[in-house]
Structure 1
Amino acid sequence: MGLRAAAAWRPGASWRRAIAHAGRCAAGAPRGSQLLAAALAAAAAGAWALPPLAVPMTGCLQLAAVAVQRRSPL
């Protein structure tokens, strides 16, 4: 939900609205949530194997969240 909310947020918009939109997207498109869970697992495994990659992995997770947001029909 946090990744979906971060991808849905726009400058000037409230976080409450972004979180509500993320909840609707998660309920309406569970496949995107599964993709984000897989991306989070891959990022955690990469950061565990090479701890210096923990910081760049946050950018990769945000890219995955934006990609899921773009493909979502909601």
Structure 2
Amino acid sequence: MFTTLVRFDAGYNGLFKCNLCRLADYTALSRYVQNVIETPGVRETVNIDYIKRGYCSITARNPNGIVPVGPQLPFVAA
């Protein structure tokens, strides 16, 4: 579940039009991601820029290849 949730706002939200809510709008799920990301060694394995580039390279969904600058994700900040 962590893998899907950590990618939700950066990958799924815009590209797959899952944009009614952000992960931050779900208190329990946000807290879960925050708890997991604070586990020693986990934060270093999460690369949001790589996730965004990967999902935005799906030309069927993003034919112009535009990679958004955002979103700002609180759990990514060091």
Q: Assess same fold via TM > 0.5.
A: no
* Structure ranking higher on relative contact order (CA contacts 8 Å, 6+ apart): 1
* TM-score, normalising length: structure 2: 0.35
Compare the two structures and name the one with the higher helix fraction.
1
* TM-score normalized by the length of structure 1: 0.36
